[in-house]
Chains A and B, each alone.
Chain A
Amino acid sequence: MAVTATTPATRPPTATSRTGAARVTAALVLLVVALAVVDITQGTAAVGAPEVWKALTGRADQADASVLIASRLPRVAAGLLVGAVLGMAGAALQAVSRNVLASPDTLAVNAGSYFALGLATVTGVSLPLLASSGIAFAGGLAAAAVVLGLSGLGAGTVRLVLAGSALTLGLTALTEGLLLLFPQQTDGLYHWNQGSIAQNGFDGVLQMLPIAVVGLVGLLLLARRIDALALGDDAARGLGVPVRATRLTAVVLAALLSTAAVTLAGPIGFVGLCAPALVRPLARRFRALTRTRGNLPVAGLTGAALVLGSDVLLRALVPSDVAVGVPTGIVTSLVGAVFLVVMACRTRDTAAAAAPDRLHIRSRAVFLTTTAVLVVVLVGVVIAAVLLGDARLLLGDVVNWLQGRAGRTTAFVLDTRVPRVLAALFAGAALALAGTLVQAVTRNPLAEPSILGVSGGAALGAVLLVTTVPMVGSWGVAGGAFAGAAVSSVLVFGLAARGGYQQNRLVLVGFGVATGAAALISLLIIITDPFNAIKALTWLSGSTYGRTLPDIVPLAAVLAVGVVVAAARRTELDLVSLDEDTPRLLGLNLGRGRLGFLVLAVLLAAAAVAAAGTIGFVGLVAPHAARALVGRQHARVVPVAVLLGAVLVCAADLVGRTVIAPAQLGAGMMTAVIGTPYFLYLLVRSRRG
């Protein structure tokens, strides 16, 4: 195993440090071995500790021995390899970007690889493992290139993570789309985009091992240069280190490593983020571990311990027949989510939130024209959404329907189509308003209900309720969503409240909560209802399928309240969004005002989730575009943002329903496809600004 082979590579400067680092490494090796031994005794076959012991002493019957050799050992080996490789990739990425939050997940490498693999599967070409890992490599590398290119290497912790996480969300939505469209080729949604380390025989591990070794050796050869980068770009250049080439090579090697992991086991979340982070406190005590040559193998060992530990935990907690269906990646994602939150709280983020939009001052005429044009577009989209679908209608049909004298078919079509259109319309408007409020209160242009984990929490609450009380009504679902959203937002805003909301900590904590919620939703669905694709689609990626008018009532009510409140208190919104001091000078109770707006935003987001599932990015895109169009005054931003949000989701729903009709895609998936590029564009622009 690569991990143990490289242990001697630690070459610390002082004797005490050397023994200390050696002791740490030895302890880690012991831990990994212990976890591996426990993992070997777990599984669906009746091969427990006694049988394993017999096999080790050569007295096992042949069946037990073959289970051990062909199933358990490969699984343990895969866990070791995947964990080690991801840990090292994370450590390398963090070193070259001088960014404690860089990892294969946050740079979208995993998502890119997995999407490329999905694409290859769907085209029906059955590829040998090596070829498919080539495709995964290309995908992962491309995604990393996009993220690094957009955010700039070493240019602020948060921007990198934001770009990567946004791309991850977008690519995941696309992969989910592929899974839904080609259920036969991709075995439905059973695996929910999460990785699992189960293996059949050693073939996969043996084929990926060379790739891992190439990546590791390459990184170790590069180690001195990577160390030099820690001094800063200029200092490194002064030492004669080619900064650009070093970064590039390291990123390519790290992508190669994570490719091996994704090909072997699918996306195993957050190991690359957590493993180096766990090593960091150790590195503070043992200086040998600050060097890349010492750091990398230890991060690898820690990664292996994380993956195996997650697998052991899963199999110990869940009955083996259920554990078969629960991917290890879910557990690591949960662990990683907690980690991201803790790290976000501890990271001293000196950079203020991304620079606010330049102060646009637009004339009243511009506002009025924009609004008028938007109203026309909205009416157009709504009419198109009502007329288009599997059955094309004409306006006369709608008139007949409104007068209650439509023909049977027309009436059926409109009876089912109109609630969906309304759900999309209101959900879009509510999310846009929620986004506007959150962005104003937090003065964070990247804040948004789904990115902040509020939507995820709402969906989790709703799924919990739907799972435990099957016959729950619309208000019940909305109530569950409210409760979930309340819990998650108290968590996110509470943790981010220290030192005001404007820090990027808010977004990072939010990302953590959002990821954790998504993993928990997957877990709930797998355990309670593995064959229910609709449930999964609705709560994981947003769908308006099967909505009826009563389902929309809670949303409409909350939206109406929201719009009225926002209109009445527009001046206060303007003030809150300015800066910390002005409102106080004017005698405004900042805390209470903020809280009120936040509560309203959470209610809006939860109602939207209850009606249409988790639809991401709308709350981000709509207020932003609105500010770009009509300036920063909330009297103008609110109506324009609400209109834009409604147009966006309505159009996404329309496209999702019609493009591949009679099969359908969720609206959430479509908005992710539109929203991801926009989010990335915003990041690029705010860098320039």
Chain B
Amino acid sequence: MRRLLLTTAVATTAALTLTACGTTEPAADDAKKTTERITLTDATGTKVELDGPAKKVVGTEWNVVEHLIELGVDPVGVSDVKGYKTWDTAVPLKNEPKDIGTRGEPSMETVAALKPDLILATSDLPPAAVKQLRKIAPVLEVKAADAADPIGRMTENLDLIAKATGTTDKATELKKQFEAKLDEGKKALADAKLAGAKYAFADGYVVSNQVSIRPYTSGSLIGAVNEELGLKNAWTVKGDPAYGLGATDVEGLTKIGDVQFAYIGNDGDASSNPFAGVLAKDKVWTSLPFVKKGNVHRLPDGVWMFGGPGSMSAYVDSLVAALTK
């Protein structure tokens, strides 16, 4: 023990001498001010001041990243890049952003090293972490989701981000396209005599022989889009106040009755697709009325269920295609 301590001490002293007194960055000089300032108020009521439209932007959650890409601003830093590429191919990354760590604990230091003009964070980050991020760069904290008005929340976030990046025109265009997409989808469903049809969307996971299912209630983004399309949400379980997600198991599905059932899984994640996997042999599942009638639809992978207009438009397309097939 003593020898170990001594060696460590010698080694550290040597290391200290070696690292002494260099700097990785010159000392600060007076910052140059530009003229075109932008002032915004974010979801927490914080005033955010920008010197100009943000160009180097970091996103800590995938939904804000998706907004950015759609607005034509390629983010310089994204949480869990690999995960994004797996789960959100509807709005693919156009550049190779730096991975800033997990979505839950993005690394402050990696973010700081990127020297962003703007950080987009969501209310899923703890307030202390946001407080720290604010020291790195202006932080626009958006509310991650709001089960009271999911679509309104999404467009509000889009608008806020557009203002910060000087892309308001693009945002208006995106919103118009999305409205058009919803109308088009609604019409297509009505033409197929599916207006008012009972419909349930879910995703599910298999963990050690057990299946857990997440119902997307009316408070979820997808649930709200479904209602815009003229479908009737069949879930009776209560969702959480932010994402509108509930929890149930296979037998809970017996309560939704005869519906159109759709889900999104992922080929890149073996545990994410119980419906065509373990449940294929499950008696409860196979005796459900909608399973017997073949009204179970697997929608294409890569549509992020909590994303922006891009993902939601892709969702509308795939849903309409599946239901009117």
- B-contacting residues of A (Cβ < 8 Å)? 43-47, 62-64, 66-67, 69-72, 117, 121, 124, 126, 129, 183-187, 190-191, 196, 198-201, 203-204, 263-264, 266, 320-322, 324-325, 370, 373-374, 376-377, 379-381, 383-384, 387, 389-397, 399-400, 405-413, 415-417, 471, 530-531, 533-535, 537, 543, 545-548, 551, 625, 628-629, 661-664
Also in contact, A662 and B106, with CB within 8 A (given A45-B255, A380-B9, A411-B28)? yes
Known: A400-B23, A534-B105. A376 touches B12 (CB 8 A): yes
Residues of B within 8 A of A394 (CB): 19-24
Interface centre among A129, A384, A533, A662 (most CB of B within 10 A): A662
Residue B48 CB within 8 A of the other chain: no
Contact of A409 among B115, B124, B210, B270 (CB under 8 A): B115
Which residues 223-249 of B sit at the A interface, judged by CB distance below 8 A?
237-238, 240, 243, 246-249
- Determine which of B102, B243, B279 lies in contact with A200 in the assembled complex, contact meaning CB atoms within 8 Å: B279
In the complex, whether B154 has a CB less than 8 A from a CB of chain A is no
Task: Tell me the number of A-to-B contacts counted with CB atoms below 8 Å.
Answer: 252
The stretch among B49-57, B125-133, B179-187 that forms the contact with chain A is B125-133
- CA A201 – CA B210 in complex, angstroms? 10
Q: A416-B136, A546-B129, A628-B1 are in contact. List 9 more A-B contacts (CB 8 A).
A: A183-B102, A184-B269, A199-B209, A200-B250, A373-B5, A373-B9, A390-B107, A394-B24, A417-B108
**Among A121, A185, A399, A662, which residue has its beta carbon within 8 angstroms of that of B100?**
A662
Contact of B207 (CB < 8 Å), options: A129, A191, A203, A395: A191
Selected A-B contacts with CB under 8 Å, 15 pairs: A183-B102, A198-B249, A320-B252, A379-B12, A389-B109, A390-B109, A394-B23, A400-B28, A407-B26, A408-B28, A412-B137, A417-B109, A545-B105, A546-B129, A662-B106
* B26: A residues at CB distance < 8 A: 407
Min CB distance, A237 to chain B, in Å? 41
A62 and B129 CA atoms in complex are apart in Å by: 53
Q: Could you say which residues of chain B place their CB within 8 Å of the CB of A46? A: 254-255
Q: Is the CB of A416 within 8 A of B112?
A: yes
Contacts of B104 in A (CB 8 A): 533-534, 537
B208 within 8 A of A: yes
**B residues at A contact (CB < 8 Å):** 1-2, 5-6, 8-9, 11-13, 15-16, 19-28, 83, 86, 99-102, 104-110, 112-113, 115, 124, 126-129, 131-132, 135-137, 205, 207-212, 237-238, 240, 243, 246-255, 269-272, 278-279, 281-289
CA distance A425 to B319 in the complex (A): 54
Enumerate chain B residues within 8 angstroms of A63, measured Cβ to Cβ. 254, 287-289
The secondary structure that dominates the A interface is: helix
Pair A126/B270 contact, Cβ less than 8 Å: yes
Of all chain A residues, the one with the shortest Cβ separation from B9 is A376
Q: Which residues on the B side are within 8 Å of A393 (C-beta)? A: 24
Known A377-B8, A380-B16, A384-B15; judge A200-B254 contact (CB<8 A).
no
A72 to B254, CA, bound (A): 13
**B-side contacts of A537, CB under 8 Å:** 104-105
User: Top 5 A-B pairs ranked by shortest CB distance?
Assistant: A380-B12, A70-B283, A662-B101, A44-B252, A396-B23
Most A-side CB within 10 Å, residue of B86, B252, B253: B252
Q: Are B110 and A391 in contact (CB under 8 A)?
A: yes
Q: Does A391 lie within 8 Å of B255, measured CB to CB?
A: no
Chain B residues with CB under 8 A of A124: 270
Contacts of B237 in A (CB 8 A): 321
A661-B101 in contact (CB<8A): yes
Q: Are A629 and B2 in contact (CB under 8 A)?
A: yes
